[in-house]
């Protein structure tokens, strides 16, 4: 019986399905990839400045998803409602502001508690890496045990709508119904698709300008290029690192709201999978490179969908990781090359 | 100097994180048996924390209710419960099974909770001769392994799969059905039986992953195949999202899933509007009217899926103890000949340990909530 299921999951290895619904797979893939790209920014910026992988970034994102759902519960109560994007846009903006603030705050906490003390001591990078992993687990468990934590303060009943069944799926009560805006080669592009892709692109564009044109951005680039010389030139590296975490957190918060707009549910371990994907996107595009994160994220989202179409959905990760290895074999520094300081930023 | 307090704070947070993680996976005993008649305990093995922790807690609640009733009537010879939390993970269940068989005070096991952990631990319990009654493990292959100490008070997946197809074809008039599962032991088993029963009515098939949240490619495949019904074998966190994303893509047909999705959280996950009209089948009748009140008095919360089954399973062991069956072999023989109607339905085991009367019910989402009181019996 197991064998027959295996055969059947390989059997539909056909390109027909991909080509007959090509734009449906591609555009939903782009919307997914846009979210990967926003989260990937957090990985890529911290790597650019510190040459460290911020393993806690997936939790920064996860806190943003909860913030989004909490705002929706706060405004609407727990009764499940479906409405159009137009009627939700105000709530969505509020959610995004709160989620960005929450994620930025969590990112700053991670920097303050898990990074700065160790960086100041000149700890080996491996130690800082482990500290970030510890922060990641702690943050996820705090979210997963929030009912008990609130119980210590006697707030469990009062905050029942926000903390009960902390390890279960937590849903936003507001579902946004996508509406078709126009037909694109047979795929009805929806307003939600457009908003997600558009918002992600706008955010990326703004960040790109910020890093290239502003004083603080120049500081980030200088620390990424040569931390010691930057220090000699009077750049406050602690401040630059803090800003880097802050920006990564803001982008993750925005990604979290867009994710909740598309998906609508979260849980305490929701960050893990998307964190792995976003990190992959960052490496694919060239870690340390902002535009690389965008290219990597969009490419990853699209490849996942194409891979699912051709081989079956359970093969999506195999397809994307084979692709990642293939890209790194040809271009070891990723598609657009490494470095926040040197190449592009 | 400014560094030290920070480091300390970090250490405290890290240590707290580890400590909290640790207490999530440890096992605990709630009460030991007492009196002058030996110290007997029942064991529960299943998920009481983790993703499926809510289901395990429903089961523990049923056990506690049965025990509290028994212990009230037998205050001179009370029976205790030892809870072993596997988080539903076969790898975590295996060492716990060894702990259970090495504990001489344990007379029987209510569990294991899920199919994966049942398959992983069945041999250990069988070798030790420890009788077990699962309230919830429905994978059909478990009872084909020849473990004569293994029983369940719930219909298995082969019966459910056939009944689900019957509902889709006869009641919902579906001619084309799209089948999706999540690659877990339970889901692959159930999907296999649905597929067998569907035959040529199956128009397509896809597998998703647990914890997946974006089902874009699957949705595209389904809408391209335009089936009359979609059957999802898996659990509600994915099932609910899949249902929502299908509806958002304009899918109008029936959405049906099995007992893994039969939970009110299916509706909150999918959103009330998308979930409306979905059919979730379960090999379980609704609880009798007064069961929930009794359950709530002991557990301070409402009964849930598998509460009635674990209450019944516990009562079988307690009836055995009352009849003086205090060895594993005697208890096992007693279970084999047990015949009585419990709160979940008539209970009698066949020679493989499956329950003889297997009934499957279709629960419908209507008016924005899962109607758990008025299911349709699938005949």
Contact between chains at A267 and B7 (C-beta distance less than 8 A): no
Q: What is the predicted pLDDT for the residue at A20?
A: 85
Contacts of B11 in chain A (CB under 8 A): none
Task: Identify all chain B residues contacting A137, using CB atoms and an 8 Å cutoff.
Answer: 17-18, 21
Give A205-225 pLDDT, tens digit per residue.
999 999 999 999 999 999 988
- Helix crossing, B328-336 with B307-322: angle to 10°? 120
Mean pLDDT throughout A175-189? 89
Which residue, A136, A107, A52, is CA-closest to B14?
A136
- Answer yes or no: do A169 and B9 touch at CB < 8 A: no
Q: How far apart are CA B193 and CA A289, in angstroms?
A: 50
B307: tokens are: 């509460």
Given a cut of 60, whether residue A1 has pLDDT beyond it is no
> What is the residue extent of each domain of chain B?
27-155+287-348, 157-282+360-377
Nearest to B217 among A2, A171, A305 (CB): A305
Q: Given this model, what pLDDT does residue B51 score?
A: 72
pLDDT at B23: 39
- Select the residue of B17, B54, B273 nearest A137 (Cβ to Cβ): B17
Using an 8 Å Cβ cutoff, are B110 and B136 in contact? no
Chain B 35-54, CB below 8 Å of chain A: which residues?
49-51, 53-54
Which chain A residue has its CA at the smallest distance from B3's CA? Answer: A117
Q: What is the pLDDT of residues A71-80, one digit of tens each?
A: 999 999 988 8
* Each residue's pLDDT expressed in tens, for chain B with a length of 379 residues: 334 444 444 444 444 444 444 433 344 444 555 555 668 999 999 998 877 787 899 999 999 999 999 999 988 889 999 999 999 899 999 999 999 999 999 999 999 999 899 999 999 999 999 999 999 998 899 999 999 999 999 989 999 999 999 999 999 999 999 999 998 888 999 999 999 999 999 999 999 988 899 999 999 999 999 999 999 999 999 999 999 999 999 999 999 999 889 888 899 999 999 999 999 998 888 878 899 899 999 998 888 888 999 999 999 999 999 999 999 999 999 999 999 999 988 899 999 999 988 889 999 999 998 998 889 998 8
* Residue of A215, A205, A211, A299 lying closest to A254 (CA atoms): A205
What pLDDT is stored for residue B32 in this prediction? 52
Q: Which residues contact A188 (CB under 8 A, 6 or more apart)?
A: A180, A181, A182, B250
Q: Identify the H or E element spanning B179.
A: strand B177-181
Confidence (pLDDT) at B17: 45
Q: Give the containing element (helix H, strand E) for B202.
A: strand B202-207
Nearest CB to A113 within list B10, B20, B207: B10
Cis peptide before B273 (omega within 30 of 0): no
Question: What's the CA gap between B121 and A274, in Å, rounded?
Answer: 33
Strands A170-171 and A265-266 turn out to be: antiparallel
pLDDT band per the 50, 70, 90 thresholds, residue A186: confident
CA–CA distance, B24 with A328 (Å, rounded to integer): 39
**Number of structural domains in chain A:** 1
Question: Other CB atoms closer than 10 Å to residue A20's CB: what's the count?
Answer: 12
Quick check: A222 and A230 in contact, CB under 8 A?
A: yes
In a domain, A260, yes or no: yes
CA A302 to chain centre: 16
pLDDT, tens digit (0-9, with 9 covering 90-100), for A34-55: 999 999 999 999 998 988 899 9
Fold of the domain built from segment(s) B27-155+287-348: Rossmann fold (3.40.50)
Paired strand residues for B233: B181
pLDDT at position A284 is 92
Dist CA A3 CA A148 (whole Å): 45
Q: What's the whole-number average pLDDT of chain A?
A: 89
B-chain CB neighbours of A314 within 8 Å are 183, 207-209
Q: Which string of DSSP letters, residue by residue, matches B277-300?
A: T-EEEES-PPPPTTHHHHHHHHHS
Structural element, H or E, at residue B260: none
pLDDT of residue A208: 92
Mean pLDDT of A63-87: 93
Q: What is the percentage of chain A residues whose pLDDT exceeds 90?
A: 67
DSSP strand pairing (B376-377 vs B361-366): antiparallel
Instruction: Write down the CATH number for the domain with range B157-282+360-377.
Output: 3.40.50.2300
Q: Beta partners for B349?
A: B355
Domain interval for residue A55: 34-271
Residues in chain A: 345
Nearest to B3 among A117, A131, A262 (CB): A117
Tell me the shortest Cα–Cα distance from A117 to chain B, in angstroms. 6
How close does chain B come to A20, measured CA to CA in Å? 9
């Amino acid at each position: 019986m197991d064998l027959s299921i295996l055969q059947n999951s390989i059997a539909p290895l056909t390109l027909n399905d991909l080509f007959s619904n090509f734009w449906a797979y591609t555009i939903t893939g782009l919307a997914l990839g846009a979210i990967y790209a926003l989260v990937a920014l957090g990985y890529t910026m911290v790597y650019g400045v510190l040459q460290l992988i911020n393993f806690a970034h997936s939790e920064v994102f996860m806190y943003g998803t909860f913030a989004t759902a909490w705002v929706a519960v706060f405004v609407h109560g727990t009764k499940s409602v479906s409405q159009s994007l137009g009627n939700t846009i105000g709530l969505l903006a509020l959610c995004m502001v709160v989620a960005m603030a929450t994620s930025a705050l969590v990112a700053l906490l991670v920097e303050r508690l898990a990074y700065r003390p160790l960086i100041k001591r000149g700890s080996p990078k491996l130690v800082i890496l482990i500290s970030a992993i510890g922060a990641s687990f702690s943050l996820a468990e705090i979210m997963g045990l929030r009912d008990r934590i609130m119980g210590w303060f006697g707030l469990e009943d009062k905050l029942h709508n926000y903390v009960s069944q902390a390890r279960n799926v937590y849903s936003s009560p507001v579902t946004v119904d996508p509406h078709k805006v126009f037909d694109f080669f047979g795929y009805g592009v929806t307003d939600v698709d457009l908003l997600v892709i558009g918002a992600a692109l706008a955010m990326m564009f703004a960040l790109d300008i910020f890093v290239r044109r502003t004083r603080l951005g120049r500081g980030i680039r200088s620390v990424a290029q040569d931390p010691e010389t930057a220090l000699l030139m009077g750049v406050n590296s602690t401040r630059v690192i803090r800003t880097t975490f802050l920006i990564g957190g803001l982008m993750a918060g925005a990604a979290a709201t867009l994710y909740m707009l598309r998906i609508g549910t979260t849980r305490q371990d929701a960050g893990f999978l998307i964190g792995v994907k976003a990190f992959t996107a960052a490496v694919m595009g060239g870690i340390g490179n902002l535009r690389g994160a965008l290219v990597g994220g969009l490419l990853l989202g699209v490849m996942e969908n194409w891979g699912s179409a051709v081989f079956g959905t359970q093969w999506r990760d195999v397809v994307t990781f084979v692709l990642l290895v293939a890209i790194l074999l040809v271009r070891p520094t990723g598609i657009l090359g490494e470095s926040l300081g040197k190449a592009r930023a | 100097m400014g560094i030290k307090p920070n480091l300390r704070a970090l250490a405290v947070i890290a240590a707290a994180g580890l400590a909290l993680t640790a207490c999530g996976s440890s096992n605990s005993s709630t009460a030991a048996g007492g009196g002058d008649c030996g110290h007997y305990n029942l064991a529960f093995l299943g998920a009481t924390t983790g993703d499926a922790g809510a289901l395990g807690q429903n089961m523990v609640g049923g056990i506690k209710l049965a025990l509290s009733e028994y212990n009230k009537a037998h205050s001179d010879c009370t029976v205790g419960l030892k809870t072993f939390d596997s988080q539903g993970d076969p790898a975590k269940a295996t060492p716990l099974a060894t702990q259970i068989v090495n504990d001489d005070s344990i007379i029987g096991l209510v569990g294991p909770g899920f199919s994966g952990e049942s398959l992983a631990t069945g041999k250990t319990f069988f070798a030790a001769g420890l009788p077990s009654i699962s309230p919830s493990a429905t994978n059909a292959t478990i009872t084909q392994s020849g473990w004569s100490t293994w029983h369940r008070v719930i219909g298995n997946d082969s019966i459910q799969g056939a009944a689900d197809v019957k509902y889709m074809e006869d009641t919902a008039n579906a001619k084309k059905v799209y089948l999706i599962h999540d690659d877990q032991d339970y889901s692959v088993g159930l999907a296999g039986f649905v597929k067998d029963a569907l035959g040529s009515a199956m128009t397509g098939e896809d597998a998703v992953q647990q914890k997946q949240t974006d089902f874009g490619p699957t949705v595209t495949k389904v809408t391209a195949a335009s089936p009359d019904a979609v059957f999802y074998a898996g659990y509600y966190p994915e099932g609910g999202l899949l249902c929502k994303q299908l509806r958002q893509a304009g899918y109008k047909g029936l959405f049906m899933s099995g007992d893994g999705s039969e939970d009110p959280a299916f509706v909150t996950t999918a959103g009330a509007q998308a979930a409306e009209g979905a059919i979730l089948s379960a090999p379980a009748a609704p609880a009798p009217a007064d069961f929930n009140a009794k359950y709530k008095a002991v557990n301070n919360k409402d009964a849930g899926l598998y509460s009635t089954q674990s209450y019944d399973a516990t009562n079988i062991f307690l009836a055995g103890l009352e009849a003086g069956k205090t060895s594993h072999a005697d208890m096992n023989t007693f279970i084999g000949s047990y015949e009585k109607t419990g709160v979940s339905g008539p209970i009698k085991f066949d020679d493989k340990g499956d329950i003889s009367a297997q009934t499957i019910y279709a629960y419908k989402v209507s008016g924005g909530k899962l109607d758990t009181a008025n299911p349709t019996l699938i005949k």
